[in-house]
Structure 1
Amino acid sequence: MSNILVTGGAGYIGSHTSLALTQAGYEVVVADNLSTGVREAVLPPVRLVEGDLRDAGFVRDLLRRERVEGIIHFAASIVVPESVEKPLAYYRNNVGCTLNLVESAVAEGVKHFIFSSTAAVYGMPKERPITEEIQTNPINPYGRTKLADEWIIRDASAAHPGLKHTILRYFNVAGADPQGRLGQNTPDATHLIKVACQAALGMRKELVIFGNDYPTPDGTCIRDYIHVSDLTDIHVQALLRLEQGGESAIFNCGYGRGYSVAEVIKVVKEVSGVNFAVRKGPRRAGDPDDLVADTARMRAELAWTPAYCDLHGIVRSSLEWERRLMQR
């Protein structure tokens, strides 16, 4: 099987995907600077190489030394409010890393490139659900950096036909490995389900709802939540598709079902049995009101069937992971 480089593989989604790739028979090396990733999340036989993707020499040498045939690119800064406060840092990291990686991939003859993108590239579309064909119009620097990355990858593939790509636009990722091996390690993460689970376990004194005046049925934002293990399977299937001669493509990654912030909190309270404190706060800058995926294209093109598409199950796995972290 191919030698695969996973950038940001010590992070949440990257670590789960690296594990899934090894289980599918791939040789996997992770490149991560451990600025937000965790060394312990890189499970053998996956190998970790510490380094900065903004260093073009490091990237080029790594691809050549490891004889990389495919890249799955996760490494990025991902917090929307932070991107509003520090836009230049987001452009420097997200766009700079991708440019170095794609340039090196072309120079070293890498055949397949899978990119971790986001529904934030759509901005606040009027269409529901959201298809891949609608106009991209990101409303925050995070989304704009991811769209710029998409342009770099697509233009490079057009100019260098030997490099095929798949762009995966994630909606909201949650949950943890069903066997308890991996989960989301970032202690100050902003993901709703993780934060709610921490509140249920007493790790936070309360949960803050950022805005309850959105044009939704209960006034809180609606998101499409996908279990991280289902998302990792999408990456494996996307890589297999390219290896079997598939053309470059863009796919939405979600379940096509949205839940509001209030609905998620209700489920976390049900699963945990804890009526934790919830406080209403102001809106966060750059938060769209409603993001739900149309996944018809992805389901038609990939040999993928979701295995964990139940919000209660997603919450349960997240809660168990947070308990494990408390015991460390």
Structure 2
Amino acid sequence: MILITGGLGMIGAHTARALADLGHRVVVTTHRRAEVPSFLAGRVAVESLDVTDRDAFLALAVRHDIGDIVHLAGSVPGEDPAGFFRTDLTGLLNALDAARAWGVRRFAVASSLGVYAGRSEIPWREELELPTARLPHPIVAFKKAAEPLTTHGLEGSGVRPIVLRIGSTWGPLMDPESPFNPIPPYISAVLRGEQPQPWYADDGGDFCYAPDAGRAIALLMTAPALRHDTYNVSSGRPFTNRELATALRAVAPGPRLDLLPGRQAGPGDNPYLDITRLIEDAGFAPTFDVATAVADYVAWRAGNPR
């Protein structure tokens, strides 16, 4: 059985779905979210768990035969960044304790494309050294720190660490007004009949639709062999706002979607993640491009609030 902490969040739920589609038994944990997405109903075991409670975490093994862990649970910083770091660090250490105590095969942890901040090379590849640079958000700072904590924390245990440098992911189950990805709020405005603020046509960047991200993680957890500890998880290509607007006009005609010419910062390339490792080791190929992702998301939102 594969355990996914934070398994009712956007990426966790789509990972659980992909694993179930592959025929694996899955248990997901949730702390505050109680609603199980329709595509997971009756397909996974659900455990209410505060991952900062070590005893409760370890007790999961009494009820489930867990052989792999995908640790995606995390919190959102408030006015106390130290409290945020303490909470998420405690959850990570408890997950690592569980991995070692249970002798699981693989332990995957969520990192972020934000760890590449300060690298000018495009696309971003896993072998790039991560520079000392000011990071854009406390969540990125924690995820960058979580990488060596995980790999060192599992040394000598026989557990294979998998660091997931997850790209700019969006899709079903994301907060429609999320401050972490501009695409859902933009689409939400259009669905309300509002004219969104004009974007620069050639701006854009990394793009990963949540069902693809979940399937990529599922393939990494189930691949017969892995040659690396760190994998970029995304679509492997950048998108532009022009593509997004074109796709949205095709499925949600309504307000005029004005675009400003060029890029806000002038000529240049938009950064994105290289996924060669993911393709070669896990056999991943994205199912969704910008047009099919937008169409799928608009159809999903027709019957779901987020």
Q: What TM bracket, shorter-length normalisation?
A: 0.7 to 0.9
The superposition leaves residues 6-55 of structure 1 with CA deviations (integer Å, 9 ceiling, x where unpaired) of 11111111111112212212111111102xx4522242120111110011
Residue of structure 1 in register with 2:284 after alignment: 304
SS of aligned partner of 2:302 = helix
Matched, 1:192 2:171: no
User: CA separation in 2, counterparts of 1:64 and 1:136?
Assistant: 39
Residue of structure 2 in register with 1:240 after alignment: 222
Identify which of 173, 178, 199 aligns with 2:169.
Answer: 173
User: CA separation in 1, counterparts of 2:202 and 2:82?
Assistant: 30
Residue of structure 2 in register with 1:229 after alignment: 211
Residue of structure 1 in register with 2:73 after alignment: 75
Residue of structure 1 in register with 2:235 after alignment: 255
The superposition leaves residues 135-161 of structure 1 with CA deviations (integer Å, 9 ceiling, x where unpaired) of 22444311110111111111023232x
Identity in percent: 24
| Aligned amino acid, residue 96 of structure 1 | T
SS of aligned partner of 1:158 = coil
Deviation at 1:193, TM superposition (A): 2.2
Residue of structure 1 in register with 2:144 after alignment: 147
SS of aligned partner of 2:84 = helix
Identify which of 118, 129, 142 aligns with 2:123.
Answer: 129
Matched, 1:318 2:261: no
Deviation at 1:236, TM superposition (A): 1.9
| Aligned amino acid, residue 324 of structure 1 | G
Q: Is the 8 A contact 1:95 1:148 kept in 2?
A: no
The superposition leaves residues 219-266 of structure 1 with CA deviations (integer Å, 9 ceiling, x where unpaired) of 87532112222222212211122xx34355211122232224465345
TM-score of the aligned structures, taking structure 2 as reference length: 0.85
Moved more, 37-46 or 57-66: 37-46
TM-score of the aligned structures, taking structure 1 as reference length: 0.79
| Aligned amino acid, residue 26 of structure 2 | V
* Number of residue pairs aligned between Structure 1 and Structure 2: 292
SS of aligned partner of 2:162 = strand
Q: Is the 8 A contact 1:119 1:291 kept in 2?
A: no
User: CA separation in 2, counterparts of 1:145 and 1:19?
Assistant: 27
Deviation at 1:306, TM superposition (A): 2.0
User: CA separation in 2, counterparts of 1:76 and 1:4?
Assistant: 18
Matched, 1:158 2:126: no
| Aligned amino acid, residue 292 of structure 1 | Y
**Structure 1 residues 221 and 101: CA distance shift in structure 2, 3 A:** farther
Say what the alpha-carbon RMSD is for the aligned residues: 2.7
User: CA separation in 2, counterparts of 1:277 and 1:89?
Assistant: 41
User: CA separation in 2, counterparts of 1:92 and 1:260?
Assistant: 37
**Structure 1 residues 47 and 119: CA distance shift in structure 2, 3 A:** same
Residue of structure 2 in register with 1:91 after alignment: 85
SS of aligned partner of 1:291 = coil
User: CA separation in 1, counterparts of 2:47 and 2:217?
Assistant: 21
Q: Is the 8 A contact 2:4 2:72 kept in 1?
A: yes
Residue of structure 2 in register with 1:286 after alignment: none
SS of aligned partner of 1:15 = helix
Identify which of 278, 287, 291 aligns with 2:271.
Answer: 291
The superposition leaves residues 62-118 of structure 1 with CA deviations (integer Å, 9 ceiling, x where unpaired) of 13431211011111136xxx57x5522431233221111112211222221122221
**Structure 1 residues 32 and 187: CA distance shift in structure 2, 3 A:** same
**Structure 1 residues 61 and 100: CA distance shift in structure 2, 3 A:** same
**Structure 1 residues 76 and 221: CA distance shift in structure 2, 3 A:** farther
Residue of structure 2 in register with 1:268 after alignment: 248
User: CA separation in 1, counterparts of 2:169 and 2:14?
Assistant: 12
The list of structure 1 runs, each at least 4 consecutive aligned residues, that deviate by more than 4 angstroms after superposition, is 218-221, 276-280
Moved more, 269-278 or 221-230: 269-278
Deviation at 1:164, TM superposition (A): 0.5
Which segments of 5 or more consecutive residues in structure 2 lack a partner in the other structure? 261-268
User: CA separation in 1, counterparts of 2:295 and 2:162?
Assistant: 31
The superposition leaves residues 161-185 of structure 1 with CA deviations (integer Å, 9 ceiling, x where unpaired) of x11021121111234xxxxxxx225
The superposition leaves residues 170-206 of structure 1 with CA deviations (integer Å, 9 ceiling, x where unpaired) of 111234xxxxxxx225354233222122111117x55
| Aligned amino acid, residue 304 of structure 2 | L
Moved more, 61-70 or 119-128: 61-70
**Structure 1 residues 23 and 277: CA distance shift in structure 2, 3 A:** closer
Identify which of 54, 59, 69 aligns with 1:61.
Answer: 59
